[in-house]
Amino acid sequence: MTDPKTLFEKIWDSHLVDVQGDGTCLLYIDRHLTHEVTTPQPYEGLRQAGRSVRRPDATIAVLDHNVPTDWNEKIDEDSQLQIDTLRRNCAEFGVELYEVDDARNGIVHVIGPEQGFTLPGTIIVCGDSHTATHGAFGALAFGVGTSEVEHVLATQTLIQAPARSMRISVDGDLPAGCSAKDLILAVIAKIGTAGGTGHVIEYAGPAIEALTMEGRMTVSNMTIEAGARAGLVAPDNTTFAYLQGRPRAPKGDLWHQAVSYWKTLPSDKGASYDKEVIIDVSGIVPQVTWGTSPELVAPITSQVPDPADAPTEDARDSWRRAIDYMGLRAGMNMAGIPVDRVFIGSCTNGRIEDIRAAAEVAKGRKVSDGVRAIVVPGSGLVKLQAEEEGLDRILTEAGFEWRSPGCSMCIAMNTDRLEPGERCASTSNRNFEGRQGRQGRTHLVSPAMAAAAAVTGELTDVRGMLP
């Protein structure tokens, strides 16, 4: 009998190409997702060294980070150059690229799963920190830097030091009005943005098992905001049902062969972790961030905290700075803080269930005067699906703008951004200073909470607005 292993250890061990004397590993990479912003330099490096892409069939490219979400808009020269550079590189190196007007295009972390390119038991990388999203499928998925992108293109491997493991067990039923976004924000509130540093997280427990694949993706996505590079969920029937029939998922006999293999992946009984966290979500209420780090988050029913109550001196400074940047006061009710903008989209919350949740709240209501609210589907296919369901009409009738897919206001590389001082309820993943635009103020929330803020003009407890 071999020692019990975790899901993470099973994937890690099955991808070892080489182990050096000091424990540094050479890992095989099964899937490589690429986009326009972090690929120009790697391809230039390959060209200079006369190297090729080792596995074009295991690599796909999308245009998402800086493409306009309003196709009538003129694109700036630098972005156009990046887009054209990716087109040229993909053609030269034989990598498949989803063009802007291809329904399969969209945010890299939405389309990987959608196409069945993301599969359990694989190692997936991308030059983007939210690659953690794919961990929802029981894949080891993590973001890499640009030099590592080049390394993967050239060798289909990565040099990695082993990580420690952490299990986050989430108990309890998620209450009505709370979503996967509230769950992960509550986890980050508990462990902090550096809580997972150096670790690979495995999310487990009944509350995780009960989530849909889209909900699990939202949780895994924000693993990086908890400091860990990867956050896995064991594959189960929910996973298999989601994948079956997707364009790049295995078919026929291979499907059955794959599923039997995937069923061996969940952590063995008795497997041990370097760190264990248990959280019960049955009592949580919708979450909203008040500061400039995702860990500065609180229930919508609470108040902006007082820096005097911060646990450490460093935290006190950071709280004070954050409250000042956000234009808030300690003791203010979170509910009732007025917003100027609302953003629904991103790799965290740009999938069909997110848009349904927003539409449910928006239905029959109007976006508040003076608020500008945009909805940006995560992919062309999400957009089509939403239109088939009539969600676009519900949203536009309520006064939301209905856009084309892209990263949009989550990274604010194009004109979808905040003006100085503007306050935004956003379904994205980072509320850093300037993240959504210089001097912009971001409150991270779920899609339902964002829609509620749009129609009331202020941060609002969505639980009072649901049917």
Cβ within 8 Å of residue 315, ≥6 positions away = none
| Per-residue x/- track, 396-435, other proteins (CB under 8 A) | ---------------xxx------x---------x-xxxx
Cβ within 8 Å of residue 410, ≥6 positions away = 343, 345, 346, 347, 348, 426, 428, 429, 430, 436
Which lies closer to other proteins via its Cβ, residue 145 or residue 464? 145
Contact segment (CB under 8 A) with other proteins among 1-9, 207-215, 317-325, 382-390 equals 317-325
**What is the Cβ-side half-sphere exposure of residue 35, based on CA atoms within 13 angstroms?**
28
Among 4, 13, 18, 366, binds other proteins (CB under 8 A): 18
Give residue 230's Cα distance to chain centre. Answer: 11
* Residue 173 touches other proteins, criterion: CB under 8 A: no
Q: How far is the CB of 427 from other proteins (least distance, A)?
A: 18
Residue 102 forms beta bridges with which residues?
A: none
Among 9, 64, 114, 148, binds other proteins (CB under 8 A): 148
Residue 29, φ and ψ in degrees, nearest 5: -110, 120
* Residue 446 touches other proteins, criterion: CB under 8 A: no
Q: How far is the CB of 51 from other proteins (least distance, A)?
A: 7
* Residue 289 touches other proteins, criterion: CB under 8 A: no
Identify the three-state secondary structure at position 329.
Answer: coil
The answer to whether 148 and 128 have CB atoms below 8 angstroms apart is no
Residue 17, φ and ψ in degrees, nearest 5: -90, -35
Q: Which of residues 53-72 bind other proteins (CB under 8 A)?
A: 54, 57-58, 65-66
* Residue 128 touches other proteins, criterion: CB under 8 A: yes
Which lies closer to other proteins via its Cβ, residue 125 or residue 219? 125
CA dist 223 and 231 (Å) reads 6
Among 253, 283, 311, 467, binds other proteins (CB under 8 A): 253
Give residue 318's Cα distance to chain centre. Answer: 25
Q: How far is the CB of 21 from other proteins (least distance, A)?
A: 8
CA dist 329 and 324 (Å) reads 8
Q: DSSP class of residue 127?
A: S
Q: How many residues form the binding site for other proteins (CB under 8 A)?
A: 85
* Residue 143 touches other proteins, criterion: CB under 8 A: yes
* Residue 157 touches other proteins, criterion: CB under 8 A: yes
Among 34, 69, 133, 156, binds other proteins (CB under 8 A): 156
Q: Kindly state the helix (H) or strand (E) to which residue 372 belongs, with its residue range.
A: strand 372-375
Question: In a 10 Å sphere around its CB, with 0-12 CB exposed, 13-18 middle and 19+ buried, how is residue 245 labelled?
Answer: exposed
Residue 88 tokens, joined: 């040229």
The answer to whether 262 and 139 have CB atoms below 8 angstroms apart is no
Contact segment (CB under 8 A) with other proteins among 77-85, 202-210, 298-306, 453-461 equals 77-85
Which lies closer to other proteins via its Cβ, residue 122 or residue 267? 122
Q: How far is the CB of 139 from other proteins (least distance, A)?
A: 11
Residue 60 tokens, joined: 């796909």
Residue 23 tokens, joined: 């424990």
Which lies closer to other proteins via its Cβ, residue 159 or residue 332? 159
Q: Which of residues 293-312 bind other proteins (CB under 8 A)?
A: 293
Contact segment (CB under 8 A) with other proteins among 142-150, 165-173, 274-282, 394-402 equals 142-150
| Per-residue x/- track, 29-58, other proteins (CB under 8 A) | -x------xx-xx--xx---x-x--x--xx
CA dist 401 and 388 (Å) reads 17
391-398 and 380-388 helices, crossing angle to 10°: 90
Among 34, 82, 118, 404, binds other proteins (CB under 8 A): 82
* Residue 129 touches other proteins, criterion: CB under 8 A: yes
* Residue 147 touches other proteins, criterion: CB under 8 A: yes
* Residue 250 touches other proteins, criterion: CB under 8 A: yes
